[in-house]
Structure 1
Amino acid sequence: MANVSESRGSALLHGEITAGPLRLAWAEAPWDTVVLGHPVVQISRIEADLGARADDLAPFVVACEAGGVELASCRLAHDRLRESMLLEEIGFRFIEMVYQPEFVCSEWTQTGDERGLELVLASARDLPAIVELAGTAFGCERFHMDPRLPSGLGDLRYQNWVRNCLEHPSQRLYALREAGDLVAFFVVEMLVDGTCYWHLNAVSPARQGMGYGLRAWRQMMHQAFKDGARRVRTSIVARNHRVLNLYARLGFVFPAPSMTFHWVRSA
């Protein structure tokens, strides 16, 4: 038995399957719909009992077809293989493994490495340089790595994210500079549980391999500590091994990873 909601026009696509051996919920991701020019949905919940079959996903498939969905994504815990196999049966493909490393702020000790860079909340005058960096910094992410999607969509996605930060009610855009030049940027959000979540961060290509990443990351950790955060958390794909090593060096703890899957209509 399924309870499926569909909508068009200004409303967002959404729906759920609430009975039987499968529970599933999905909703449109409007920020990604803007990038692709067609509806994009995210599966926010999937739980499959023993005996669940791909046919149980039929209401979702029908809703995507009726809504003109071009891309659907799902993130699963690393051990949810029953669910991942069901998704693969209807055309989803594995794209990436994702970690969410965490640092407990009570363990922070100032080292001095975080000093020397100018850290400011970005303003409109900072946007052109940050937007340009955002368009080149995220080549390891899922929108770039899925060969079925134009790589430029990933650049546009992160550039739009940065552009919207100045008007976002809770996300903040920080710029780190040296001698007036942009070194790095961070998009952060303080969550209600005391987590300082780093959504996006990047070092200018001209400054990479020179120790600026370590300095910038430490300065942002110190900022989170000053802001009263209990912990810092972020998300990083497993293939980005250079930055994984940076987080390990900084003392972040790595919980079990998650898997990301994509379904693309053209495929």
Structure 2
Amino acid sequence: MEYLRPTPWDERNFRIPTYEVTSVSEEALKETDQYEGHYTIKVNPMENPEQILKHDFYYMDTLIEPVCEKENLVAFDREGTSISKDYAKEEVLAIAEEAFMHGRFHRDFHIPSSLADLRYMNWVRDLQMKDQIFALYYQDQLAGFYGYEGEKVLLLGMKEEFRSKGLAKAFTSKGCQAQFNDGHDRLRTSISAANVASLNLFIMLGFKLKNTIDVYHKLNGPSPAEV
């Protein structure tokens, strides 16, 4: 497999082979026809998708990369909000199970929603093991979590009853400041173009939109079975 990079973090959830395609060349696309599994390929939006579509890939998402320099972070506060590394792991996992709906695997018609949820839960478990989760508290109640790695902001999940209350700006601001305090001069994240609320949030915090990339999926073989 010259052009196929296995993605074991996805295979564990879907229980079929999963790959990222490392090239948009014809040789790489032909290789996706030879093996069963689920494929992801990321391309420049200016790339002509004709050959990709001919090999049964289908458009899935456009990812936008906002970036923020340390000096440009706009700090927001809200009385009663705080972040902490002290939390009940299972309570955070319960939030992860139901907090996400904009992920590309949730929109992939070949992937059962329960497996897309499982993917987020396992991602949060991995971050918990690496101590890369902040719990978000509002008036001493667990409201959500903030996941990160190095200079990357990865996940923001909130309980339904705490959404649309103007808390996300304060929580995300505190999480970003904690990352900057760890010594990073720049932060970046990746957001689906469909997730307008998150894009607006990071713009308000001082992030600037830098790059975009189109994501295509392909399934060669049977769909993964729901659990």
Q: TM-score, normalised by structure 2?
A: 0.89
Alignment identity in percent? 23
Instruction: Tell me how far 1:108 sits from its aligned partner.
Output: 3.2
Cα distance, 1:253 vs. partner? 0.5
Q: Partner of 1:200 in structure 2? A: 155
Q: Please list the CA deviations of residues 173-231 of structure 1 after superposition, one character each: whole Å capped at 9, or x if unmatched.
A: 111112332122111111xxxxx101211222111111111110111122122222111
Match of 2:173 among 218, 225, 245: 218
Distance 2:74 2:12 in 1: 42
1:172 is aligned to 2:96: no
The answer to whether the aligner puts 1:119 opposite 2:83 as a matched pair is yes
Counterpart position of 1:188: 148
Residue of structure 1 equivalent to 2:40: 73
1:150 match: 112
Paired position in structure 2 for 1:105: 70
Q: Indicate whether 1:36 and 2:8 are aligned.
A: no
1:46 aligned residue:
23
**Following the alignment from structure 1 to structure 2, what is the Cα–Cα distance between the partners of residues 118 and 212?**
10
| Alpha-carbon spacing, 1:221–1:182, altered in 2? closer, same or farther (3 Å) | same
Partner of 1:249: 204
Letter in 2 for 1:259: D
TM-score (norm 1): 0.77
Q: Runs of 5+ in structure 2 lacking a partner?
A: none
Q: What secondary structure sits across from 2:23 in the alignment?
A: strand
SS at structure 2 position matched to 1:182: strand
Alignment deviations for residues 134-164 of structure 1 (CA, whole Å, 9 cap, x no partner): 1111111111111222111110000011122
In the alignment, what sits opposite 2:50? 85
Change over 3 Å in CA distance of 1:223–1:89 after alignment to 2 = same
Deviations 1:22-78 (A, max 9, x none): xxx2211111111111111111x2154xxxxx577333422x2xxx42x11111121
In 2, Cα distance between equivalents of 1:59 and 1:153 = 26
Structure 1 residue ranges (4+ consecutive) displaced by more than 3 angstroms after TM superposition: 54-57, 108-111
Q: In structure 1, what residue type is equivalent to 2:85?
A: L
CA distance in 1, matches of 2:57, 2:207: 32
Contact 1:99 1:255 in 2 (8 A): yes
2-side partners of 1:59 and 1:129: how far apart?
42
Q: Name the amino acid aligned to 2:192.
A: V
Instruction: State the AA in 1 paired with 2:215.
Output: T
- Assess if the C-alpha contact under 8 Å between 1:184 and 1:216 holds in 2: no
Instruction: Report the Cα distance in structure 1 between the residues aligned to 2:165 and 2:135, rounded to whole angstroms.
Output: 18
RMSD in angstroms over aligned alpha carbons?
2.0
Structure showing greater relative contact order (alpha-carbon pairs closer than 8 Å, 6 or more residues apart): 2
Aligned-partner Cα distance in 2 for 1:180–1:110: 21
Q: 1:109 to 1:57 in 2, by over 3 A?
A: closer
Structure 2 match to 1:9: none
Distance 1:127 1:38 in 2: 28
Q: 1:220 to 1:114 in 2, by over 3 A?
A: farther
Shift of the 213–30 alpha-carbon distance from structure 1 to 2, 3 Å rule, reads: same
1:162 pairs, out of 100, 124, 138, with 124
Structure 1 203/75 Cα, relative in aligned 2: closer, same or farther at 3 Å? same
Q: Choose from 62, 78, 96 the match for 1:134.
A: 96
Q: Over alpha carbons, which structure has the higher Rg?
A: 1
> Partners in 2 of 1:226 and 1:162 — Cα distance?
22
